[in-house]
Amino acid sequence: MRVLLVTHYFPPEVGAPQARLSELARHWAEAGLHVTVLTGMPNHPTGRLHPPYRRAVLRRENRDGCRIIRTWLYATPNEGVLRKTLGHLSFMASSLLLGVWRTGPCDIVVVSSPTFFSVGSAWLLARIRRARLVVEVRDLWPAIFVELGVLTNHHVIRVLERLELAAYRAADAVVVVSEGFRDDLVRRGVPAGKVTTIRNGVDLDRFGIGAATDRTATRAHLGAADGDTLVLYLGAHGISQGLPGIAEVADTLRSEPIHFAFVGEGADKQRLRDTVHRLGLEQQVTMLPAVSSDEVPALLAAADVCLAPLRDVPLFSTFIPSKIFEYLAAERAVVGAVRGESARILEEAGAVVVDPGDGPALASALRELAGDSPRHREMGRRGRAHVARHFDRRVLAATYRQLLQSLVRPA
């Protein structure tokens, strides 16, 4: 079976969609599928093109048994609605104009959303190739931007919602990453039989025993002194996470031997930096740029406690931050400020859960965990066992592959 995966995001970029899609593609290729990835030149989240791709219009590569076709796009930082929209529009155009000649025949097209612009080019490519179309929904877009107040123009919102539902109607199957997403789509009229939940997961081999090559040096790099409990947030610094509120929690814990480290990039990083500076937390908080996926296991292994926060927004009860699976696989104690499906997963894995936006509760949970190494180890063992049972990406990739095969199997 020949699969064409269309995605705006792909390694060597770092992020949740990059990890999910690249690992799925690798597992599909290992299982014998012929996988071609159509993507853009890597630049996320900084908007700076990686050196080998500057001034490039088209690049062809091979990675993990997959053929990679990269096309030009307007590279822009992960901030600002207008510039990000232009970036996605540019990939929609280049992926169609260049991809139609370079990708070759396929039996099925899988496109990862957001945004709808990639869905548009994938739909046309599927029609041209007479292939089946699978739309993967990783975020409820544009609904989340409406709830966060990013989109306020009612005419624009209506147009985007119509485009969203049109994409689902055009698809032969829709794959979502949470049951909450599935319920939302079915409630809005998408046939239940068309929607399949395949959650995010983790490559267990990358985490756990042996990940910490030099834990002492890594902890020092993250700013922790001897005797400190190192609390780590690693991931996107976007408006969804409410990280300035975490800095305010750090301010209430000044007298405790707790050090906070934030690693990543995003639209809200400057606001986090401003909050840290305003509160005078430079000694309690370390802020570092995003790292490659190869560096993630060592950073997680160096931490005592890992944070998974989301803002107090009703729609976020349907979201599952993909970072929680890596945290648990790395055998770390985890504290989540989440509700809904992600809260249930964390509680079943033995993690601590508090309400989003409840700073005193989060401070109390961290104060209670501080210095309790036996509890950290027990939470880590339980969390690792839970993701091994339920969120092994190799198993999830096999489930996804069976869905793809069912769509192209002759009736």
Kindly report, residue by residue over 135-157, the tens digit of the pLDDT: 999 887 777 777 777 777 787 77
| Neighbouring residues of 347: CB distance < 8 A, sequence distance ≥ 6 | 353
Mean pLDDT along residues 206-235 = 87
CA distance 199 to 178: 6
Task: Report the pLDDT value the prediction gives residue 224, as an integer from 0 to 100.
Answer: 96
| Nearest Cα to Cα of residue 124 among 109, 112, 138 | 109
- Coil, helix or strand for 43? coil
pLDDT at 209 over 70: no
Cβ atoms 28, 401 nearer than 8 A: yes
Residue 21 has, within 13 A of its CA and on its CB side, a CA count of: 31
Least confident of 25-34, 93-102, 199-208, 210-219: 210-219
CATH of 2-201+392-408, one of 3.40.5.50, 3.40.190.10, 1.10.3720.10, 3.40.50.2000: 3.40.50.2000
Least confident of 75-79, 184-188, 237-241, 345-349: 75-79
Task: Report the pLDDT value the prediction gives residue 217, as an integer from 0 to 100.
Answer: 93
End-to-end CA distance of the chain: 16
Domain ranges of the chain: 2-201+392-408, 205-390
Q: Do domains 2-201+392-408 and 205-390 have the same CATH topology?
A: yes
Q: What is the pLDDT of residues 178-187, one digit of tens each?
A: 999 999 999 9
Task: Report the pLDDT value the prediction gives residue 218, as an integer from 0 to 100.
Answer: 95
Largest CA distance in the chain: 67
Q: What is the pLDDT of residues 313-351, one digit of tens each?
A: 998 999 999 999 999 999 999 999 999 999 999 999 999
CA distance 327 to 323: 6
Mean pLDDT along residues 280-286 = 97
Task: Report the pLDDT value the prediction gives residue 3, as an integer from 0 to 100.
Answer: 98
Mean pLDDT of the chain: 92
Indicate the pLDDT class of residue 411, thresholds 50, 70 and 90.
very low
* pTM given for the model: 0.91
User: Can you identify the CATH homologous superfamily of domain 205-390?
Assistant: Glycogen Phosphorylase B; (3.40.50.2000)
Query: What are the CA-CA distances from residue 307 to residues 22, 349, 393 (Å)?
Result: 25, 14, 22
Q: What percent of the chain has pLDDT over 90?
A: 77
Task: Report the pLDDT value the prediction gives residue 271, as an integer from 0 to 100.
Answer: 96
| E strand map for 219-345 | 229-234, 258-263, 285-288, 305-309, 333-337
Task: Report the pLDDT value the prediction gives residue 90, as an integer from 0 to 100.
Answer: 94
pLDDT at 210 over 60: no
Task: Report the pLDDT value the prediction gives residue 149, as an integer from 0 to 100.
Answer: 72
Mean pLDDT along residues 112-137 = 91
